[in-house]
Amino acid sequence: MAHRFESVAQVRQGLKDVNYLADDGIAGVAYLADRLGKPVLVEGPAGTGKTQLAKSIAEITGSRLIRLQCYEGLDESKALYEWNYKKQLLRIQADKNSDSWSDVHDDIFSDEFLLTRPLLEAISAPDPVVLLIDEVDRVEVETEALLLEILSEYQVSIPELGTITAKQIPMVFLTSNNTRELSEALKRRCLYLHVDYPSMDREKEIVLARVPEVSDNLADQIARIVRSIRQLDLKKSPSVSETIDWARTLVLLGIESIDAQQAKETLHVLLKYQTDIAKAAKELSVDK
């Protein structure tokens, strides 16, 4: 199939057009993923734009986004496929007088009775697809084995049907918040990208892009305050998405310039633990 991108610069500009401000590192990995046909493992703190990267790539390429949200206990029936047992049983009952069991068996184990889940859906889709395997570090190590055939061969083996090979190579993004170490087998199949908190200047640009109503002065203040808060010893540092929520909150409140009191009164939008809010409030008071 034709390549999605002509250059790294095209990727970066395309992402910028949909308000995702990527540096050359991010754009370069996305470009190579397309050219090499390899998945991308995106690691970094929660809320730094890992999931949004996959969504933005889908948007700029006109691809359908298929998302597998990972969680503890995720199994093959929720990730790959399962058989429609109720429908199969009805078919068996309807053909109970049939002389040939092999005919019934072949019939009930056909595409008509197969329920596709995100991984198989992405493989079998005829249209361009971006597959997002979100928070892959939440599944058990054993469950990672489900992904290996797809990530290396872009195919799924179903005992009753055989091997289903991809009709087109999807762009695959796996995100991880580093809650556990991923297996070497999984990492070996992927390009690696680490997305960290942005620099102060880049975070200001992100706020201006995602919150059009915010003034340049207010965006600058927001970026500076968030940067100082992230340097504290917190249970959870504010994410970029929370920075954007805070900016929207300040705009809605009609605040043009933040003072210490206004910042402290709205810290609950930025921080989600009372101990963190107390530390940040103390820091703001000292700064004042």
Average pLDDT for 211-218:
95
Say whether pLDDT at 7 is over 80.
yes
The pLDDT, as a whole number, for residue 76 is: 83
Q: What is the pLDDT of residue 60?
A: 97
Name residue, tokens 């910042």.
Answer: 263
pLDDT digits (tens, 9 = 90+) for 229-269: 999 999 999 999 999 999 999 999 999 999 889 899 999 99
Q: Is the pLDDT of residue 170 over 60?
A: yes
- pTM, full prediction: 0.85
The answer to whether 148 and 189 are in contact (CB under 8 A) is yes
What pLDDT sits at residue 80? Answer: 87
Does position 279 have pLDDT exceeding 60, yes or no? Answer: yes
- Residues 13, 31 contacting (CB under 8 angstroms): no
25-84 confidence digits (pLDDT tens): 999 999 999 999 999 999 999 889 999 999 999 999 999 999 999 999 898 888 888 887
pLDDT above 90 (res 101): no
Q: What angle do CA 193, 55, 195 make, to 5 degrees?
A: 25
Q: Region 184-199: what's the mean pLDDT?
A: 94
- In angstroms, the CA 132 to CA 134 distance is 6
108 or 246: which carries more pLDDT confidence? 246
Q: What is the pLDDT of residue 95?
A: 67
Q: Which residue has the higher pLDDT, 286 or 118?
A: 118
